[in-house]
Amino acid sequence: MSIDRIVMAFAGTMVLLSLALSQMHSPQWLWLAAFVGANLLQAAFTGFCPLAMILKRLGARPGVAFT
């Protein structure tokens, strides 16, 4: 699996987890979804993604979005 797919899968998982936790516990969990969304937006424009950098150091295969 490439870095791109791992990042997108992780972001999607975090958003869904945030939504589930906001329904079960506290609406404050929606801040996690907002943070993930903001990070995805800035990564689209700048190409800087902290998770992609970590995955690259761990040896994950690079994709086309995060090189």
Domain that holds residue 39: 3-57
Three-state DSSP string of 12-43: HHHHHHHHHHHHHCCHHHHHHHHHHHHHHHHH
Q: What pTM value is reported for the model? A: 0.84
**Residue 11 structure tokens:** 């972001």
Q: How far apart are CA 10 and CA 18, in angstroms?
A: 12
pLDDT in tens, 29-63: 999 999 999 999 999 899 899 999 999 999 999 88
Inside any domain, residue 30: yes
Inside any domain, residue 62: no
Inside any domain, residue 29: yes
Inside any domain, residue 9: yes
Inside any domain, residue 66: no
Inside any domain, residue 18: yes
Number of domains in the chain: 1
Inside any domain, residue 64: no
